[in-house]
């Protein structure tokens, strides 16, 4: 199913809930809390270092904030000049930047096993992908269970 892109700014377009939207967004926030709890449970560095502090503190907060901030209202749209404007799915630039830093950060976390490192990258990728999916096609993401599949993968990554 292809949904038609709204035009104008998000403030100009009336927002109607997609069927199952509230439940999907509650599930997103819950999945983020589970992922954040897993990240907090990872072993710390043998000696304190900036990456350890970031992984133990900021990253779990970023994951929780990101999954609680997802919204289909910030989807791709046509601007007033007819040009395509990319939506964010609810993630601000700071959050997207923090998620994009995960592959670099795990390189500086040799105390984590390769399995833990790849799972961290999977979590960041899935959260980023969920926002992009919401931005590109909120109807499919919500009404056809695409987000539910993302959270099932996230749960597998943190199990």
The number of residues making up the chain comes to 159
Residue 28 has φ and ψ, to the nearest 5°, of -60, -45
User: What is the rounded CA–CA span in Å between residue 83 and residue 1?
Assistant: 22
Could you tell me if 63 and 123 are in contact, meaning their C-beta atoms sit under 8 angstroms apart? Answer: yes
The SS3 of residue 7 is strand
Alpha carbon distance 133, 118 (integer Å): 22
As a whole number, mean pLDDT of residues 126-146 equals 92
Q: For residue 33, what are the CA distances in angstroms to 8, 67, 99, 106, 132?
A: 33, 8, 15, 20, 20
- pLDDT for 15 equals 60
User: In this predicted model, what pLDDT tens digit does every residue of 57-87 receive, in sequence order?
Assistant: 999 999 999 999 999 988 888 888 888 888 9
Mean pLDDT confidence for 132-138: 91
User: Mean of the pLDDT values across residues 11-40?
Assistant: 86
């Amino acid at each position: 199913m292809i949904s038609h892109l709204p035009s104008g700014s998000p403030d100009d377009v009336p927002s109607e809930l997609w069927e199952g939207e509230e439940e999907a967004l509650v599930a997103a926030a819950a999945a983020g809390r589970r992922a954040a709890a897993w990240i907090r449970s990872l072993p710390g560095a043998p000696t304190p270092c900036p990456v350890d502090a970031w992984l133990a503190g900021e990253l779990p907060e970023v994951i929780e904030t990101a999954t609680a901030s997802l919204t289909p209202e910030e989807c791709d749209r046509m601007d007033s000049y007819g040009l395509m404007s990319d939506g964010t799915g609810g993630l601000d630039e700071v959050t997207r930047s923090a998620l994009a830093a995960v592959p670099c950060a795990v390189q500086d976390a040799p105390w984590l096993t390769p399995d833990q490192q790849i799972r961290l990258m999977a979590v960041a990728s899935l959260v980023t992908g969920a926002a992009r999916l919401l931005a590109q096609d909120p109807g499919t993401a919500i009404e056809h269970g695409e987000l539910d599949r993302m959270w099932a993968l996230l749960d597998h990554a943190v199990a």
